[in-house]
């Protein structure tokens, strides 16, 4: 009896020891529920049973296989797999856009891609994976698709150097990665996505960009050919007339600016050491156009002490931006600066700009044809499925089979709709007042309370093209608005005044001769009719949020 009792106690203690605390170790990590730790254990351990004791299976843990490959998911055999309806949202590796993610996160689709970070005009950015050979045109197309822009025309990438006040529009054929490679490692350089209507405007209106007095006498002028014909022939052949004129230049060793006569030719940029003499012994080569990029300078008076606001700069294109490598020039007016910068582009890229322009025009025509074709198809389907109905009877609707009766019913319905619309606008209620005061705030051409100087800068940034416009709140007159319009490379401002007639509120720009119920109607009218404006409203000055 004592021996049997001792054996029973031994088995009971072993059983309690198994049912007590135990631990599991998987792949070198342990989970302890007791006080003992075994750092070198790599498998499931438990207290040993007595040699003759029966195995107790209820306390044995189930081993788990952790040798599955990374990313493999187990699926229940009884449930079918459900396909992912939005793979581009759940798989960032297959999406070229990284929205709001740091540059260090996410994996590129392939080893030959690079990260390009682009800023919008609201200071927000978007990061994209692009191929090594992606051009500025390719990146703009990706941003148009991902940002859901209303229109796909005239978008451009702008290279900014904020510390130096430099900016330029990248050409459509330039490789974005190569441009970023010329930036300083610890600089504040960035790419900006915005409109640029004037990118190829000189092909359409060359006389505005190349004044006759700036065309050099050394150009091959054919007798009997006018200046405009000469310029048009040169542009069509991918060339540019030679340009001459006086510019203010700042010497590297001197602070004062000096007025010098410059000549821009196919072989490079030259300056005259004696007045405006063009004799070879008086010409000094300033730069070779092949290795230069041209930038416009923002706030040139403050940064460089320029004599005017129309400052531009040339610098080597293959070297990193340094102030000592730049040559800052200043023109007397905006048209002169535009002429010099446009001629630089044409002399450097030549026929390539003509190809870029033709490609943009063909793409635009294709998009217009696709939109018109889609609208026409929808219209055909809808018109084929519609029939004229008469619901005036008590028995319900009937189909009008007589064509004359159907046409008369359509005319009567149109007159009824016009009467209802006129009556709604004629009622001096709060709804009409709310519509008149709020409808313009949702339009892309409305820019709130920006100042006159900010409006001019915004129009200049997006290209001084005839018909570009925006509407802003007047800072000098309460409850009034200002229409800022570009015409002949200059910005004009027109005051929009609210007035009342028979208890109804209107807006006018011609002292009440023409009245508009709201700013939206004013814009839509002047997009078709000039009115008192020198040109119809054509290009709204917009800002896109990335």
Residue 43 lies in a domain: no
Q: Residues of the chain with pLDDT > 90: what percent?
A: 29
Q: Across residues 456-470, what is the average pLDDT?
A: 90
CA distance 258 to 278: 18
Same domain for 524 and 478?
A: yes
What are the b/e assignments for 199-224, b being 16+ CB within 10 Å?
bbbbbeebebbbeeebbeeebeeeee
Same domain for 454 and 533?
A: yes
Same domain for 244 and 346?
A: yes
Q: What are phi and psi of 122, to 5 degrees?
A: -100, 15
Task: Please classify residue 3 by burial: count the beta carbons closer than 10 Å to its beta carbon, then call 0-12 exposed, 13-18 middle and 19+ buried.
Answer: exposed
- The model's pTM is 0.64
Q: Across residues 538-546, what is the average pLDDT?
A: 82
Single out the residue in 328, 355, 382 at which a domain terminates: 355
Report the number of distinct structural domains present in the chain: 3
Same domain for 149 and 209?
A: no
Same domain for 120 and 209?
A: no
**391 has a pLDDT exceeding 90:** no
What are the C-alpha distances in Å from 207 to residues 204, 240, 339, 355?
Answer: 9, 12, 10, 21
Residue 382 lies in a domain: no
Sort strands 125-131 and 243-250 into parallel, antiparallel or unpaired.
Answer: unpaired
Q: In the structure, what pLDDT confidence band is assigned to residue 387 with cuts at 50, 70 and 90?
A: low
Residues in Cβ contact with 192 at an 8 Å cutoff, skipping those fewer than 6 apart: 118, 119, 120, 121, 157, 158, 160, 167
CA distance 486 to 494: 11
CATH number assigned to the domain comprising residue 286: 2.30.29.30
Same domain for 122 and 187?
A: yes
Of residues 114 and 94, the one with the higher pLDDT is 114
CA distance 74 to 96: 29
Sort strands 398-399 and 490-501 into parallel, antiparallel or unpaired.
Answer: unpaired
Of residues 98 and 393, the one with the higher pLDDT is 393
For residue 234, the model assigns a pLDDT of 73
Mean of all residue pLDDT scores within the chain: 75
Residue 330 lies in a domain: yes
For residue 235, give its domain range: 201-218+226-355
Same domain for 237 and 332?
A: yes
**97 has a pLDDT exceeding 80:** no
Q: In the structure, what pLDDT confidence band is assigned to residue 481 with cuts at 50, 70 and 90?
A: very high
Structural element, H or E, at residue 481:
strand 481-487
Residues in Cβ contact with 365 at an 8 Å cutoff, skipping those fewer than 6 apart: none
For 15-65, how does the pLDDT look when each residue is reduced to its tens digit (9 = 90+)? 444 444 444 444 444 444 444 444 444 444 444 444 455 554 544 555 545
**460 has a pLDDT exceeding 60:** yes
CATH number assigned to the domain comprising residue 525: 3.30.505.10
Same domain for 185 and 237?
A: no
CATH number assigned to the domain comprising residue 114: 3.10.20.90
**296 has a pLDDT exceeding 80:** yes
Neighbours of 309 (CB within 10 A): 17
Same domain for 182 and 268?
A: no
Nearest to 61 by CA among 38, 31, 39, 29: 31
Residue 35 lies in a domain: no
Output the DSSP codes for 402-436: -HHHHHHHHHHHHHHHHHHHHHHHHS-SHHHHHHH
For residue 351, the model assigns a pLDDT of 86
Residue 530 lies in a domain: yes
CA distance 227 to 431: 57
Same domain for 447 and 346?
A: no
Sort strands 490-501 and 504-508 into parallel, antiparallel or unpaired.
Answer: antiparallel
Residue 258 lies in a domain: yes
Single out the residue in 355, 371, 395 at which a domain terminates: 355
Under a CB-based contact definition with an 8 Å cutoff, are residues 522 and 516 in contact? yes
Residue 407 lies in a domain: no
The alpha helices in 126-217, defined as continuous H runs, are 136-147, 176-181, 206-209
Output the DSSP codes for 186-200: T---EEEEEE-TTSS
Of residues 242 and 402, the one with the higher pLDDT is 242
Same domain for 278 and 340?
A: yes
Same domain for 207 and 318?
A: yes
Residues in Cβ contact with 239 at an 8 Å cutoff, skipping those fewer than 6 apart: 346, 350
For residue 146, the model assigns a pLDDT of 83
Residue 511 lies in a domain: yes
CA distance 374 to 81: 37
Nearest to 346 by CA among 236, 455, 473: 236
- 46 CA to centre of own chain: 64
What are the b/e assignments for 502-515, b being 16+ CB within 10 Å?
eebbbbbbeeeebe
């Amino acid at each position: 009896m004592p021996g049997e009792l001792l054996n029973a106690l031994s088995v009971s203690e072993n059983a309690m020891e198994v049912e007590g605390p135990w631990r599991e170790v998987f792949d070198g990590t342990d989970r302890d529920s007791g006080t003992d730790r075994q750092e070198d254990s790599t498998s499931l351990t438990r207290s040993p049973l007595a040699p003759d004791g029966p195995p107790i299976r209820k306390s044995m843990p189930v081993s788990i296989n952790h040798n599955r490959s990374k990313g493999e998911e187990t699926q229940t055999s009884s449930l079918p797999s459900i396909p992912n309806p939005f793979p581009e949202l759940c798989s960032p590796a297959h999406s070229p856009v990284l929205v709001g993610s740091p540059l260090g996160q996410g994996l590129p689709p392939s080893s030959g891609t690079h990260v390009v970070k682009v800023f919008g005009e609201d200071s927000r950015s978007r990061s994209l994976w692009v191929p090594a050979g992606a051009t500025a045109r390719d990146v703009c197309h990706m941003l148009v698709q991902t940002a859901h822009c209303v229109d796909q025309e005239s978008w451009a990438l702008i290279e900014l150097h904020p510390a130096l006040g430099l900016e330029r529009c990248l050409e459509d054929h330039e490789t974005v990665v190569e441009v970023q490679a010329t930036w300083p490692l610890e600089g504040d350089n960035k790419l900006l996505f915005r409109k640029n209507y004037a990118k190829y405007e000189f092909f359409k209106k060359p006389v505005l960009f190349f004044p006759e007095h700036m065309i050099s006498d050394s150009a091959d002028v054919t007798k009997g050919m006018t200046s405009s014909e000469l310029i048009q022939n040169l542009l069509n052949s991918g060339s540019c007339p030679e340009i001459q004129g006086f510019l203010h230049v700042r010497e590297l060793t001197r602070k004062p600016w000096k007025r010098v006569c410059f000549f821009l030719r196919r072989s490079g940029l030259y300056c005259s050491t004696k007045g405006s003499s063009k004799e070879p012994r008086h010409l000094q080569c300033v730069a070779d156009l092949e290795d230069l990029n041209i930038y416009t300078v923002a706030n040139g008076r403050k940064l460089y002490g320029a004599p005017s606001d129309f400052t531009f700069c040339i610098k080597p294109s293959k070297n990193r931006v340094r102030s000592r490598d730049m040559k800052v020039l200043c023109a007397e007016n905006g048209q002169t600066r535009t002429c010099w910068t446009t001629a630089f582009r044409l002399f450097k890229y030549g026929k390539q700009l003509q190809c870029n322009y033709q490609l943009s025009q063909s793409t635009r025509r294709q998009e217009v044809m696709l939109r018109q074709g889609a609208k026409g198809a929808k219209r055909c389907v809808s018109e084929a499925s519609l029939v004229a109905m008469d619901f005036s009877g008590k028995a319900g609707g009937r189909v009008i089979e007589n064509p004359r009766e159907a046409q008369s019913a359509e005319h009567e319905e149109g007159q009824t709709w016009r009467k209802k619309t006129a009556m709604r606008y004629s009622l001096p209620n709060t709804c009409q007042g709310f519509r008149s005061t709020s409808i313009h705030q949702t339009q892309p051409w409305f820019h709130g309370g920006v100042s006159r100087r900010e409006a001019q800068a915004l129009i200049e940034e997006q290209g001084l093209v005839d018909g570009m416009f925006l509407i802003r709140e007047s800072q000098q007159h309460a409850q009034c608005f200002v229409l800022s319009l570009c015409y002949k490379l200059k910005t004009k401002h027109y005051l929009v005044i609210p007035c009342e007639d028979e208890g109804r509120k209107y807006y006018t720009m011609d002292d009440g001769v023409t009245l508009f119920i709201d700013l939206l109607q004013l814009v839509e009218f002047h997009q078709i009719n000039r009115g008192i404006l020198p040109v119809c409203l054509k290009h709204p000055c917009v800002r896109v949020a990335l």
